[in-house]
């Protein structure tokens, strides 16, 4: 990135609009799992535009679909019949597992969660929401109000009453020392106790794996156990699949399926990877929930033809090339390789994750205290070595986030792991 562009950025954009790196880079183009900056430096991309470039950069199938659609019509709004929107909605409704599903398209995950909150509170006639500690659900007024991560919730004002539940972080907090079964039992008991002190909430919203929070997750089955309690009270379950959807976790197509013994969620939100960089988000819900609104509503840009064409092409490529299976296979190799490397680095508290969604928590050696400076140093060292990573973490945690495109091959996984190992060793 040139000094001129950085100066122009700072002069017209908000101070709180974060930039990575001491010397921020301008990414000019990409191909496959690699991107290039304005100075011609080539990087292996292990963050995919915040988990958004899901299949690959410059995928010919998507470029062709977008180009052909742009040559016909780019946009008409939801006031007119829209064949690509209907076709993608049909595919997503079927894949969701939600019976008699209806799909509403938005332009982002934030807007998708905002819509899900509107639907749930209207359907249940309650403005109380259950959310998970350490969670993140977007940057709108309602979604920051239910975000359980102080670093991403800039105001205490909210249109909703939010109550925070234990369980999203397995290795920290009052139940960390318990076995998985006892951890689930304690979290369920906490939920029961919480519900005994409040009027019935509209819904629980939860990320199956917390994204911005540092790729943390509860034991499999926690949300299934929660669901039994929620059902006793008629409380809905919203699965926020903005980061976990489309096979990224490898073992499942949706993150909720690790907790699915009682069936699919009542509502599910999605975004990021489905557009492979195009702006697509949405909500899937049972028909009686989706249809509960009694006033007019449209979406000017949600479901626009050009983004739907990209989404269809991307989803077809994902399924036809079994990228979920690739995520499971290559992700499994990568996480074991990273665990082996991290075992030699005292500053790494934990390597966790599933599929191609891997977190490396960095702390001051011998403690559970986050070392934000060390994590930033690793980020910088990785970039110098030709690897782009992400960062995250909640209260007193600092985590490096690894989430490459799902087409990552074994050689690229090994290349990235070697660069990351060297970056980790550099902070010792």
Shared domain check, 79 and 27: no
Structural domain containing residue 327: 3-55+323-425
Shared domain check, 304 and 283: yes
Query: Residue 18 is part of a domain; what is its CATH number?
Result: 3.90.1150.10
Quote the CA–CA distance of 247 and 55 in Å, as a whole number: 11
Shared domain check, 227 and 142: yes
| Residue 37 in this model has a pLDDT that exceeds 80 | yes
Shared domain check, 74 and 133: yes
Shared domain check, 9 and 85: no
Q: Which two tokens stand for residue 377?
A: 């140093």
- Of the pLDDT bands very low, low, confident and very high (cuts 50, 70, 90), residue 85 is very high
Domains contained in the chain, number: 2
* pLDDT tens figures, 311-354: 999 999 999 999 999 999 999 999 999 999 999 999 999 999 99
Boundary of a domain, candidates 320, 349, 371: 320
Q: What is the dihedral of CA 264, 269, 275, 280, to 10 degrees?
A: 140
Boundary of a domain, candidates 296, 320, 344: 320
Q: Using CA of residue 90, residue 138, residue 43, residue 364, what is the dihedral sign?
A: negative
Shared domain check, 147 and 30: no
Query: Residue 315 is part of a domain; what is its CATH number?
Result: 3.40.640.10
Cross-sheet strand order for the sheet of 348-354 = 348-354, 357-362, 399-402, 390-392
User: How high is the pLDDT of residue 300?
Assistant: 94
- Using a pLDDT cut of 70, give the percent of the chain over it: 99
Shared domain check, 285 and 344: no
Quote the CA–CA distance of 246 and 223 in Å, as a whole number: 19
Do 324 and 251 form a contact (C-beta atoms < 8 A)?
no
* pLDDT tens figures, 214-272: 999 999 999 999 999 999 999 999 999 999 999 999 999 999 999 988 899 999 999 99
Boundary of a domain, candidates 300, 320, 340: 320
Shared domain check, 331 and 315: no
- Of the pLDDT bands very low, low, confident and very high (cuts 50, 70, 90), residue 110 is very high
Shared domain check, 96 and 224: yes
Minimal CA–CA distance to 374: which of 355, 397, 357, 408? 397
- Using a pLDDT cut of 90, give the percent of the chain over it: 93
| Residue 26 in this model has a pLDDT that exceeds 70 | yes
User: How high is the pLDDT of residue 262?
Assistant: 85
Across 382-393, average pLDDT: 96
* pLDDT tens figures, 183-222: 999 999 999 999 999 989 999 999 999 999 999 999 999 9
Average pLDDT over the chain, rounded to whole?
96
User: How high is the pLDDT of residue 155?
Assistant: 87
- Of the pLDDT bands very low, low, confident and very high (cuts 50, 70, 90), residue 3 is low
| Residue 361 in this model has a pLDDT that exceeds 60 | yes
Shared domain check, 222 and 149: yes
* pLDDT tens figures, 389-407: 999 988 778 999 999 999 9
The CA-atom distances, in angstroms, between 257 and each of 15, 51, 102, 372 are 39, 20, 19, 33
Shared domain check, 113 and 135: yes
Shared domain check, 123 and 27: no
Minimal CA–CA distance to 52: which of 224, 298, 271, 272? 272
């Amino acid at each position: 990135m040139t000094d001129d562009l950085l100066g122009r950025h700072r002069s017209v954009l908000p101070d709180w609009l974060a930039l990575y790196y001491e010397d921020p880079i301008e990414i000019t183009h990409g191909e496959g799992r690699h991107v290039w900056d304005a100075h011609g430096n080539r990087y292996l991309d292990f963050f995919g535009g915040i988990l958004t470039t899901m299949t690959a950069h410059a995928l010919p199938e998507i470029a062709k679909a977008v180009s052909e659609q742009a040559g016909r019509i780019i946009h008409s709004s939801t006031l007119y019949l829209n064949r690509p929107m209907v076709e993608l909605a049909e595919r997503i409704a079927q894949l969701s597992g939600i019976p008699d599903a209806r799909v509403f398209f938005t332009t982002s995950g934030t807007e998708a969660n905002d819509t899900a909150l509107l639907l749930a509170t209207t359907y249940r006639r309650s403005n109380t929401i259950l959310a998970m500690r350490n969670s993140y659900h977007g940057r709108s007024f309602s979604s920051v109000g239910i975000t359980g991560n102080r670093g991403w919730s800039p105001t205490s004002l909210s249109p909703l009453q939010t109550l925070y539940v234990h369980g999203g972080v397995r290795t920290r907090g009052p139940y960390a020392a318990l076995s998985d079964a006892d951890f689930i039992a304690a979290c369920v008991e906490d939920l029961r106790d919480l519900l005994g002190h409040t009027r019935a909430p509209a819904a629980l919203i939860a990320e199956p794996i917390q994204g911005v929070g540092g790729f943390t997750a509860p034991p499999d089955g926690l949300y299934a156990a929660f669901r039994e309690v929620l059902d006793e009270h008629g409380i809905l379950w919203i699965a926020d699949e903005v980061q976990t959807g489309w096979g990224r976790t490898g073992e499942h197509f949706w993150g909720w399926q690790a907790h699915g013994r009682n069936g699919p969620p009542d509502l599910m939100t999605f975004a990021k990877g489905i557009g492979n960089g195009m702006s697509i988000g949405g909500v899937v819900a049972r028909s009686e929930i989706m249809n509960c609104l009694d006033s007019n509503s449209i979406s000017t840009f949600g479901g626009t033809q050009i983004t739907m064409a990209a989404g269809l092409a991307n989803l077809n490529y994902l399924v036809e090339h079994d990228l979920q299976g690739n995520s499971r296979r290559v992700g499994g190799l990568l996480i074991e390789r990273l665990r082996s490397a991290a075992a030699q680095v005292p500053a790494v508290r934990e390597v966790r994750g599933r599929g191609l969604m891997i977190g490396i928590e960095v702390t001051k050696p011998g403690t559970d205290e986050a070392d934000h400076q060390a994590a930033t140093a690793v980020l910088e060292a990785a970039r110098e070595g030709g690897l782009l990573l992400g960062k995250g973490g909640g209260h007193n945690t600092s985590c490096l986030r690894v989430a490459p495109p799902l087409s990552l091959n074994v050689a690229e996984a090994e290349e990235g792991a070697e660069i990351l190992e060297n970056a980790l060793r550099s902070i010792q």
